[in-house]
Chains A and B, each alone.
Chain A
Amino acid sequence: MKKRKRVRIIGRRDVLLGAGAAVLVAAALRAVPEARAGKRSAQFDASLKALLGDAEPVSSGIELDLPDAVENGDYVPLSISVESPMTEESHVKAIHLLSTANPRADAATYHFTLLSGKARVTSRMRLAMTQEVIAIAEMSDGKFLMSARNVDVKIGGCGI
């Protein structure tokens, strides 16, 4: 007798499994931007909330310059500049530098005056691990400008 070959056909169960898998893949894809940004500490969220309140920051007019990757998180060069005429009517009051995954979120706040002439500051910071660094400019008209950069850290800044 000839053995009958089992032919696999797509049944209802397969369709259900397929649909389930598709949902999982979609969820994973949606989570990607967050995963790339890294974990944000609760402290960072609190600092951001305290700073912005209900204001929606604009992500233009501010440039945060940081290396994409560093060997050593102890010494990470950075510069922040904001486009502003720095006049009485329109100027930058302050720039806040925040880290999303350091033990303390507030790295620095730089205050400007009309005598500053230019809203630009250069410094060096510590990064405990790979994370996103955020700069927020507080403008004289009450608006906020925000810029974020992800920095890949090979060896974290010691003891921060």
Chain B
Amino acid sequence: MKKPPRIKIPETAKAGEVIEIKTLATHIMETGNRKDAKGKTIARDIIHTFKATFAGKPVFSADLGPGIAANPYIAFYLKVPGPGALELTWLDDSGNKTVETVPLNVV
């Protein structure tokens, strides 16, 4: 990803609380169905996998297809088990792996 993804989580959270996590990646999500000016098919390049873990445990994941809009926005939930950090991973067809770690302020 050329630009880092944007991640929004609440500033603080209590253990046991269910919080929303909003993510926005910057990606063309090239479908593989489009043709360039010369009529040559443009190779598919999409984020095919998104994963979220908290303190090393899986929370949520998504398998994405070309039917997902460019710059994929994904919002999901986490039931805060206690203190820890959120690790988010995006994988694309070009082999790029983007990993972001966000510590959660548990009060």
Instruction: Say how far A87's CB is from chain B's closest CB, in angstroms.
Output: 11
* Interface pair A86/B75, CB less than 8 Å apart: no
Q: How far is the CA of A97 from the CA of B68 in the complex (A)?
A: 10
Interchain CB contact under 8 A, A159 and B78 = no
Residues of A in contact (CB 8 Å), total 35
- The answer to whether A114 touches B69 (Cβ under 8 A) is no
A84 to chain B, nearest CB (A): 12
Q: How many residues of B contact A (CB 8 A)?
A: 30
A130 interface contact, C-beta 8 A: no
Partner of B74, one of A102, A115, A123: A123
- Given the interface pairs A115-B57, A115-B59, the reply to whether A107 lies near B67 with Cβ below 8 Å is yes
Expressed in whole angstroms, the Cα–Cα distance for A125 and B69 within the complex equals: 5
List the A residue with the shortest CB-CB distance to B57: A115
Interchain CA distance A75-B73 in the complex, whole Å:
10
Q: Among the interface residues A97, A111, A123, A157, which one has the most CB atoms of the partner chain B within 10 A? A: A123
By a CB distance below 8 angstroms, the chain B residues around A115 are: 54, 57-60, 78-79, 81
Chain B positions within 8 Å of A, measured between CB atoms, are 18, 22, 31, 33-34, 42, 54, 57-70, 72-79, 81
